[in-house]
């Protein structure tokens, strides 16, 4: 279908107009679409299209690794370590109560590790006071030792609120206890109670009892045995016979 171009000219008579319309019709122009004149012989103007500018692909940003907090370096001398255990930097510093330091020679052949101070130990100013302490002293005397010859320490410098090592600090306190053993380098290590056994051996007391364990540390190796805590022996006197066997096994190894 053609379009009839329009033009601006003088009025046409009816005969001429009819003749032009017939010519346009024969040429295929049969529709008027514009009022303004157009040059129909000119090159057609190509429509300009604007393609949207493609967005550059987003450059993936490198993932920022989540860094675990660096573990606090522990003092590498016994004096500095014992001072640190009583400082505000120790894991138990926010607990209620009094922090108690280890006692005994730095070069002791036998180290004893318990779980934590008892309720009366803070006022007494030493680990293992009261009735458990008196029983402990008799146990040491039975194997030819005393508090003056053994190095006595606890996994927790303060007594936990529930009397048990908090689960969220168990690993950290175990690392500290093993570091302490490495500073003393004892030939024998007596672990009294389940918490001490778990800290050093990673094993429950019921499984650890009855045989020696080689404990490796940065300064060598110690022979350890796990046995009952004196407070348990007070509650369960029948267990004293088994405890005596543990002590004999440890001293037999040290005598070699």
DSSP string, 7-67: ---PPPPHHHHHHHHHHHHHTTEEEE--SS---TTSPPPPPP--PPPPPPPPPPPPP---P
Beta-sheet pairing, 110-114 with 150-154: parallel
pLDDT for 166 equals 86
Is pLDDT above 80 for 171? Answer: yes
Q: How far is Cα 74 from Cα 219, in angstroms, rounded to an integer?
A: 15
Q: Report whether 114 contacts 126 (CB < 8 A).
A: no
Mean pLDDT along residues 97-114: 95
Predicted confidence at residue 50, as pLDDT, reads 46
pLDDT band at 4 (very low <50, low <70, confident <90, very high): very low
Contact 127, 153 (CB under 8 A): yes
Q: Exposure pattern of 81-120 as b/e (b: 16+ CB <10 Å)? A: bbebbbeeebbbeebebebbebbbeeebbbbbbbbbbbee
Q: What percent of the chain has pLDDT over 70?
A: 72
Mean pLDDT of 211-237: 93
Asked whether the predicted pLDDT for residue 15 surpasses 70, the reply is no
2 membership: H or E segment, kind and range: strand 2-4
Mean pLDDT value across residues 122-149? 95
Place of tokens 């803070």: 122
Whether residue 151 has pLDDT greater than 50? yes
User: How high does pLDDT run on average in the chain?
Assistant: 81
The pTM assigned to this predicted structure is 0.72
How many Å apart are CA 63 and CA 58, to the nearest integer?
14
What does the pLDDT look like over 29-76, one tens digit per residue? Answer: 455 555 555 554 555 555 545 455 555 555 555 444 443 344 568 999
CA dihedral in degrees (50, 55, 56, 59; nearest 10)? 180
> Residue 1 in 3-state DSSP?
coil
In this model, does residue 114 exceed pLDDT 60? yes
R_g over Cα of the chain: 47
Residue 218: pLDDT band with limits 50, 70, 90 = confident
What residue ranges in 98-209 does DSSP mark as E strands? 110-114, 150-154, 188-192
Say what the pLDDT of residue 70 is: 40
Q: Are 150 and 108 in contact (CB under 8 A)?
A: yes
As a whole-number percent, the residues of the chain with pLDDT over 90 amount to 60
């Amino acid at each position: 279908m053609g379009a009839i171009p329009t033009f601006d000219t003088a009025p046409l008579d009816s005969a001429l107009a009819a003749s032009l319309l017939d010519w346009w019709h024969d040429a295929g122009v049969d529709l008027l679409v514009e009022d303004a004149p157009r040059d129909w012989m000119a090159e057609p103007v190509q429509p300009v299209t604007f393609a949207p500018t493609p967005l550059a692909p987003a450059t993936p940003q490198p993932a920022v690794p989540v860094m675990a907090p660096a573990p606090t370096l522990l003092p590498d001398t016994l004096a500095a370590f014992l001072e640190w255990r009583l400082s505000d930097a120790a894991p138990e510093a926010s607990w209620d109560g009094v922090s108690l330091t280890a006692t005994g020679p730095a070069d002791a052949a036998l180290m004893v590790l318990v779980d934590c101070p008892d309720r009366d130990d803070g006022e007494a100013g030493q680990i293992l006071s009261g009735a458990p302490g008196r029983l402990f002293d008799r146990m040491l005397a039975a194997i030819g030792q005393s508090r003056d010859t053994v190095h006595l320490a606890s996994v927790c410098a303060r007594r936990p609120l529930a009397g048990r090592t908090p689960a969220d600090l168990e690993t950290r306190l175990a690392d500290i206890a093993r570091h302490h053993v490495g500073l003393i380098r004892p030939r024998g290590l007596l672990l009294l109670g389940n918490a001490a056994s778990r800290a050093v051996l990673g094993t429950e007391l019921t499984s650890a009892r009855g045989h020696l364990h080689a404990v490796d540390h940065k300064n060598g190796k110690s022979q350890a045995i796990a046995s009952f805590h004196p407070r348990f022996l007070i509650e369960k006197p029948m267990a004293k016979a088994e405890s005596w066997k543990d002590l004999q096994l440890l001293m037999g190894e040290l005598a070699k």
